[in-house]
Chains A and B, each alone.
Chain A
């Protein structure tokens, strides 16, 4: 039975697209059939992070409007054959998406994949509410920082109001993914710590992704971090999160980048 998961946050720039790519790739690397959908019509990014920007011919809007077939718009990943991307349109705006069109596409994708991961645009408007509308589960991406946490609180309230499942009175699983976490800074009180965030949001934790230059490096290479450097701290965090999403019980840790002694010394000196 396919699962539709929305990755959302309210606030922009917290790591929704990066997390969509990394979790999608991690699930595919674990043997699942995965499609990631870019709901950010007009400001598409997921194709870049996935390294497929030159392969976009037809997009999500074309499919909802019947201009192209789903099979024409889906881009199979060249590195991971179980991973596919449905890109957003760059030339249209969010009003081009209709609820009916989205439902039709998701219904068709449910028959083809195990996981349908929807990368929500920032904000709480149409694009974001359509991305969450037909989801079974939601992942709320949060940074350990007050404005991000408050926006996440707001988006959780909106999930409870706008998700079809919630409207039918069914339980909606909500997971918190804490990204860009820096344990040293949290310990110094420069960032919220994990307990603060959990206390405010009272939502179960899916994973803690450490702040790492590996994430930006992977994005710029157009390769999800779990594929680009599977041993890095963020990649291991995303693998753990993907396993938890699949129902495995994994102890919560904050994986860090492995550093050589020399690297540590240099790191100290630079800081």
Chain B
């Protein structure tokens, strides 16, 4: 006996990528929170409302201390959407979920491990021949992004590798987003709101005014983001 054919009701799901900011609290926590507060008064305003993940690898906190820290950040407008690098047992109800457990903690997976598939050879560069418009966000963690047009004010480009903009860069460019310190940002004309490489950033106010409207490149030297004119 077969049951009468039911019209299939496929559950719809969507894939969306979000660029999360990772904050890594360091002891002493009180001073670290004060530092964040200081940042929020200046260029760090972009943290407000952005998805934030707390990396707890540098601190050892009890569940109640984690709860307290999350509440303190929430009070300042920073919404923590996940935690990482902490003991799963330390996560109790009411706390944001664990995105990635701490290294060394074995996660017991009931299902046997699936064979690791051959890594797909993804193209390591993304080419955009249309301008990136205000409000649009391009996220390409796998490699370089090349924009033939301009990146509008209020638009953002996030790349795992370098970012090349052949038009004017007016929005934000974040290169080396997955920890690539060698990534660079190039643009034909800079009016950018923010440049970042591997998390080290420069805002419009902190860029040298003489570089405005010129072709430039930006790279990372140690912990410092450097910009210079290309010609």
- B-binding residues in A (CB < 8 A): 150-151, 153-154, 156-158, 160, 199-200, 202
Select the stretch in B30-38, B56-64, B98-106, B145-153 that faces chain A.
Answer: B145-153
B151: shortest Cβ distance to chain A, in Å?
10
What are the nearest 6 A-B pairs in CB distance? A157-B133, A154-B134, A153-B134, A153-B152, A154-B135, A157-B136
Name 23 A/B residue pairs within 8 A (Cβ), A-sorted. A150-B152, A150-B153, A151-B134, A153-B131, A153-B133, A153-B135, A153-B152, A153-B153, A153-B154, A154-B152, A154-B154, A156-B133, A157-B133, A157-B135, A157-B155, A160-B130, A160-B133, A199-B150, A199-B168, A200-B150, A202-B149, A202-B150, A202-B167
| Chain B residue contacts of A151, Cβ below 8 A | 134
B190: shortest Cβ distance to chain A, in Å?
14
In the complex, A158→B155 CA distance in Å?
A: 12
Contact size class for B? 10 to 19
| Chain A residue contacts of B150, Cβ below 8 A | 199-200, 202
Q: Which residue of B lies closest to A146 (CB)?
A: B153
In the complex, A199→B136 CA distance in Å?
A: 18
Contact of A200 among B130, B135, B136, B152 (CB under 8 A): B152
Q: Which residue of A lies closest to B167 (CB)?
A: A202
- 5 additional contacts (CB under 8 A) given A153-B135, A153-B155, A158-B135: A154-B134, A154-B154, A157-B135, A157-B155, A200-B170
B137: shortest Cβ distance to chain A, in Å?
10
Chain B interface, DSSP helix/strand/loop, else mixed:
loop
* CB neighbors of A among B125-162 (8 A): 130-136, 149-150, 152-155
| Chain A residue contacts of B132, Cβ below 8 A | 157
In the complex, A160→B136 CA distance in Å?
A: 11
In the complex, A200→B153 CA distance in Å?
A: 9
- Whether the pair A150, B149 counts as a contact (CB closer than 8 A) is no
| Chain B residue contacts of A153, Cβ below 8 A | 131, 133-135, 152-155
* CB neighbors of A among B160-191 (8 A): 167-168, 170
- Whether the pair B134, A157 counts as a contact (CB closer than 8 A) is yes
In the complex, A211→B210 CA distance in Å?
A: 35
| Chain A residue contacts of B130, Cβ below 8 A | 160
B29: shortest Cβ distance to chain A, in Å?
40
Q: Which residue of A lies closest to B132 (CB)?
A: A157
- Whether the pair B168, A150 counts as a contact (CB closer than 8 A) is no
User: Which of A150, A151, A157, A158 gathers most chain B CB within 10 Å?
Assistant: A157
Q: Which residue of A lies closest to B189 (CB)?
A: A199
In the complex, A153→B155 CA distance in Å?
A: 10
Q: Which residue of B lies closest to A152 (CB)?
A: B134
User: Which of B149, B152, B168 gathers most chain A CB within 10 Å?
Assistant: B152
User: Which of A150, A151, A158 gathers most chain B CB within 10 Å?
Assistant: A150
In the complex, A150→B154 CA distance in Å?
A: 8
| Chain B residue contacts of A202, Cβ below 8 A | 131, 149-150, 167
| Chain A residue contacts of B168, Cβ below 8 A | 199-200
In the complex, A154→B152 CA distance in Å?
A: 8
In the complex, A199→B150 CA distance in Å?
A: 9
| Chain B residue contacts of A158, Cβ below 8 A | 135
| Chain A residue contacts of B136, Cβ below 8 A | 157
User: Which of B130, B133, B150 gathers most chain A CB within 10 Å?
Assistant: B133
B167: shortest Cβ distance to chain A, in Å?
8
- Whether the pair B134, A150 counts as a contact (CB closer than 8 A) is yes
| Chain A residue contacts of B134, Cβ below 8 A | 150-151, 153-154, 157
A248: shortest Cβ distance to chain B, in Å?
27
In the complex, A150→B136 CA distance in Å?
A: 12
In the complex, A202→B130 CA distance in Å?
A: 9
| Chain B residue contacts of A154, Cβ below 8 A | 133-135, 152, 154
B4: shortest Cβ distance to chain A, in Å?
31
A265: shortest Cβ distance to chain B, in Å?
40
B135: shortest Cβ distance to chain A, in Å?
4
* CB neighbors of A among B180-217 (8 A): none
In the complex, A154→B168 CA distance in Å?
A: 16
